[in-house]
Amino acid sequence: MNPLPGFRDFYPDDCAKRNHILDHWKRTATRYGFSEYDGPNLESVDVYKKKSGGELLGQLFDFIDKGDRHVALRPEMTPTLARMIVARERDFKKPMKWFCAPTFFRYEKQQRGRLREFLQLNCDIIGDPSDFADAELLALAIDVLRDLGLSSSDFVVRLSDREAWTNFAARHAITGERFSAFLALIDKLERMTPADAESKLQPFGVTLDAVRSFIANPGDAAPRLDAILKNLAARGLGDFVSVDLTIVRGLAYYTGMVFEVFDRAKNERALAGGGRYDTLIETMSDGRIRLPALGFGMGDVVLGNLIQETPAAREKRDDWLSQAASLDAFIIIAAPERTAEALATVQKLRDSGLRVDYGAPGEKVGKQFQAAEHKRSVHAIVIGSEFPSLKVKHLASRTEREATPDTLLSALQCTSI
C-alpha cells in the first residue's frame, strides 16, 4: 500500500535530507536571534475562516471531531501565531522574533513543488513597525538560502508593497470588498492571457495597459521599498532582491510590504512568501491589541528540488549528509572469544560521546571492514586475541597505530588528525 496522494514516507535517506533542511533553517533563524515556538496541529476552523482567506479555505483538511467541533489540520501558522500572541501578549517583550518549522496540511492538487503534507519554516517579527524590521526579515530569508549553498544566481526575492496598490486603487475608486477582489486579480494576472486579463479588469474601470504601466513604473507609490533596498544593499545582499509589483500574495491578511522568493530559472513554484500583516492581531483580538507584525513561510518541497538541481548546494548537502551519517569508530571483533572485551570497549566509547557500531562476532574480518567502510566510519578498531593490545586504523588515510583500552581515546584523536 502506498501513502495517500501528496503524503510522503521518509526512509532513512529521506529523513536525513529532511534533517539537513531543518538543521539549516533552525541554525540560521537562531543566528538572527529568533526563538523557537510551536502550536497545535489541529485548530478550530474558525481560526482560518476569517483570517487566511483566499484559496486556502478551499484547501483545508477539515472534519467534525467526536465532540462535534469543526476542526482543521493546520494549513499555515500565521493565524495560530496571532491567536497565541493575543492570549499572552503582555508576557513578551517587543519586538518578538519567533520561528517554527513544523508540518502543515493543504488539500492541494498534487504537483511539482506542492504536496498535501509539507514542512514550512515560519519566521515572524511582532511589534516592530519599521522598515528596518522588513529588511531584517528579508535578510533572514536570503541567508537561510545562502546557508544552504544557494546564491543570487539561483534565486531572487520579488519584493512588492500592497500600499502601492492601495494608492493605485484609490485613484481608480476601487475600495472595500472590491479592493480585495482587485488584489486577487492582480495576484493571478501573470498566469492569464491578455484578453482574459482585460475582460476581468473591466468591471474595475481599469485597462491592462494602465496596470502594466503602473507595474513598470510605479513612481513614488512605494517609498518604503527604497529604504528596504538600501538596508539590504548595506548588508551586501542587494543582488538578491528585485522590486516587482505583480506580487500581491494570495492570503487576505497582508497589509504592506509583501514578497515571494523564486528560483531564477523559473522552473519551480514559489520557494517562500510573506509580508506585513499589521492588522491581523487587532482583528484576532476584536480590536483589543494593536501590534504590527510581519513574517514569511518557506516550504521544504521546492527547496529540496532546488538543492537537488543546483550543483554547489547539492555538493554542500551531500557533505553534510555523509558527515551526519558517519561513525567515529567501528569495532572489528577479530577473535570471537574477545566479544566481552569488545562490548566493554564499545560501551566505553559510546559513554564518552562517540558514535560507535561493531561487527558481528565470528564474521570474517574482511567483511567487518567492509561494514565499517559502508557505515562511513572514520576509524576501525581491531580487537583480537592480542587484547588488551588493539589496532586503530584511520580508514581514509589507511594509517594504523597500536593502543590499549586506556590509551584508546587519545589514539583515536591522534590518528584522525
**Residue ranges in contact with ligand HAM by CB under 6 A:** 76-78, 106, 108, 114-115, 118, 120, 122, 124, 251, 270-274, 295-299, 301-302
What is the number of other CB atoms lying within 10 angstroms of the CB of residue 255? 18
Taking the complex as a whole, how short is the minimal distance between the CB of residue 271 and ligand HAM, in angstroms? 5
Q: Give the containing element (helix H, strand E) for 308.
A: helix 300-309
Give 209: exposed, middle or buried? Use CB within 10 Å, 0-12, 13-18, 19+.
exposed
Taking the complex as a whole, how short is the minimal distance between the CB of residue 247 and ligand HAM, in angstroms? 11
Taking the complex as a whole, how short is the minimal distance between the CB of residue 191 and ligand HAM, in angstroms? 15
Query: Contact 245/165 with Cβ under 8 angstroms?
Result: yes
Taking the complex as a whole, how short is the minimal distance between the CB of residue 254 and ligand HAM, in angstroms? 8
Residue corresponding to grid cell 546564491: 151
Give 57: exposed, middle or buried? Use CB within 10 Å, 0-12, 13-18, 19+.
middle
Write out the three cell numbers for 264: 531564477
- E strand residue ranges, 146-271: 155-161, 241-243, 257-263
Nearer to ligand HAM, 117 or 357 (CB): 117
Nearer to ligand HAM, 116 or 316 (CB): 116
Residue type, 386: E
b/e burial code for range 332-355 (CB count within 10 A of at least 16 → b): bbbbeebeebbeebbeebeeeebe
Nearer to ligand HAM, 111 or 193 (CB): 111
Query: Contact 202/141 with Cβ under 8 angstroms?
Result: no
Nearer to ligand HAM, 75 or 218 (CB): 75
DSSP codes of every residue in 99-144? EE--EEE--PPPBTTB-SEEEEEEEEEES--SHHHHHHHHHHHHHH
Taking the complex as a whole, how short is the minimal distance between the CB of residue 104 and ligand HAM, in angstroms? 7
Q: What does the alpha-carbon distance between residue 362 and residue 133 come to, in Å, rounded to a whole number?
A: 63
Taking the complex as a whole, how short is the minimal distance between the CB of residue 290 and ligand HAM, in angstroms? 18
Taking the complex as a whole, how short is the minimal distance between the CB of residue 411 and ligand HAM, in angstroms? 48
CA-based nearest residue to 163, from 218, 232, 217, 229 = 218
Taking the complex as a whole, how short is the minimal distance between the CB of residue 297 and ligand HAM, in angstroms? 3
Q: In DSSP terms, which residues pair with 63 in a beta bridge?
A: 71
Taking the complex as a whole, how short is the minimal distance between the CB of residue 393 and ligand HAM, in angstroms? 45
SS3 at position 377: strand
Taking the complex as a whole, how short is the minimal distance between the CB of residue 252 and ligand HAM, in angstroms? 11
Nearer to ligand HAM, 180 or 202 (CB): 180
Nearer to ligand HAM, 251 or 342 (CB): 251
Taking the complex as a whole, how short is the minimal distance between the CB of residue 86 and ligand HAM, in angstroms? 16
What is the number of other CB atoms lying within 10 angstroms of the CB of residue 374? 9
Q: What does the alpha-carbon distance between residue 398 and residue 376 come to, in Å, rounded to a whole number?
A: 14
Q: What does the alpha-carbon distance between residue 216 and residue 225 come to, in Å, rounded to a whole number?
A: 15
Nearer to ligand HAM, 190 or 373 (CB): 190
- Strand-pair category, 327-333 with 356-358: parallel
